[in-house]
Amino acid sequence: MAHHHDQQHKMTVGMWKECWNTPNVAFHNPNLNELFIKYHDKMLTRPGMRIFVPLCGKAVEMKWLVDQGHKVVGLEAAPVPCKAFFEENNIPYKIHEMKGIHGEKYESLDHNVVIYCCDFFLFSKDVCGEIDGIWDSGGLNSMDVEDRDKYIHRIRSLMGKGCVNLTEFVNFDKSIVDITWSMTKEELEREFGEGFKVEDITQMDAPKRLKDQSCDSLTLFAITKT
């Protein structure tokens, strides 16, 4: 079984990079995330925050956050969406080689948004500095079960006191596809451990664009470093 999960994860990572080379990226939402619109105020508690967006793609929430006066730190495995984010939003940017980690840093000329294109599991606070909030829509959700603890360990290490991590899970229709990438409140509490509070905010039906991909519902959690 473990071998099966490992293979599945490798295929998922490969598919992630390959998908960005296709004209229509099914998992990219051109509109603001429904749960982000309703609950971003749980994360955005003051002006001028630094928000981390793991496995960000070219998420439109990043542009919205910058427009509201916040700074954005994104992390992505594929270079295509990194370039696309800046070019589609007409944001002037430069590309730098990362120091200490193999990868590239895409940064706006006004320094309000930076996207690191590198291995998530090598990323740390030493690279990005202090993080005030996290919008995780599909990052933890896309991790293979065996990699969740490593992923959460990295996320934990980025969260300073008071940091709120909004994490969204997509729940699949088990009658159609046997995929279990979502987590329960109890599982999150166990994985994040002492010093973190987990709040189960809401669950809603998946929008049609996700229903068409066998998704049943969306769940949102707020994870706070106490």
Q: Which tokens is 133 given?
A: 């909030």
Q: Which residue has better confidence, 83 or 213?
A: 83
Residue 203 lies in a domain: yes
Close Cβ partners of 43 (under 8 Å, ≥ 6 residues apart): 51, 133, 134, 135, 164, 165, 166, 222
Secondary structure of the chain in the HEC alphabet?
Answer: CHHHHHHHHHHHHHHHHHHCCCCCCCCCCCCCCHHHHHHHHHCCCCCCCEEEEECCCCCHHHHHHHHCCCEEEEEECCHHHHHHHHHHCCCCEEEEECCCCCEEEEEECCCCEEEEEECHHHCCHHHHCCEEEEEEECCHHHCCHHHHHHHHHHHHHHEEEEEEEEEEEEEECCCCCCCCCCCCHHHHHHHHCCCEEEEEEEEEECCHHHHCCCEEEEEEEEEEEC
Residue 17 lies in a domain: no
- The CA R_g of the chain, rounded to the nearest whole Å, is 17
Close Cβ partners of 77 (under 8 Å, ≥ 6 residues apart): 13, 16, 17, 55, 117, 118, 119, 120
Residue 106 lies in a domain: yes
Q: Which residue has better confidence, 144 or 119?
A: 119
At residue 214 the predicted structure's pLDDT band, cuts being 50, 70 and 90, is confident
Domain count, the chain: 1
Q: Report the pLDDT value the prediction gives residue 10, as an integer from 0 to 100.
A: 45
Residue 212 lies in a domain: yes
Q: Which residue has better confidence, 13 or 206?
A: 206
CATH number of the structural domain spanning residue 82: 3.40.50.150
| Burial of 92 per CB tally in 10 Å (0-12, 13-18, 19+) | exposed
Residue 164 lies in a domain: yes
Say if residue 15's pLDDT is above 80: no
- Structural domain for 92, as ranges: 34-225
Residue 28 lies in a domain: no
Global pTM?
0.89
Close Cβ partners of 30 (under 8 Å, ≥ 6 residues apart): 60
Q: Which tokens is 2 given?
A: 């473990």
Residue 114 lies in a domain: yes
Model confidence pLDDT, tens digit, residues 31-51: 999 999 999 999 999 999 999
Residue 14 lies in a domain: no
Q: What percent of the chain is modeled with pLDDT above 90?
A: 70
d(CA 176, CA 198): 30
Q: What is the mean pLDDT of the chain?
A: 89
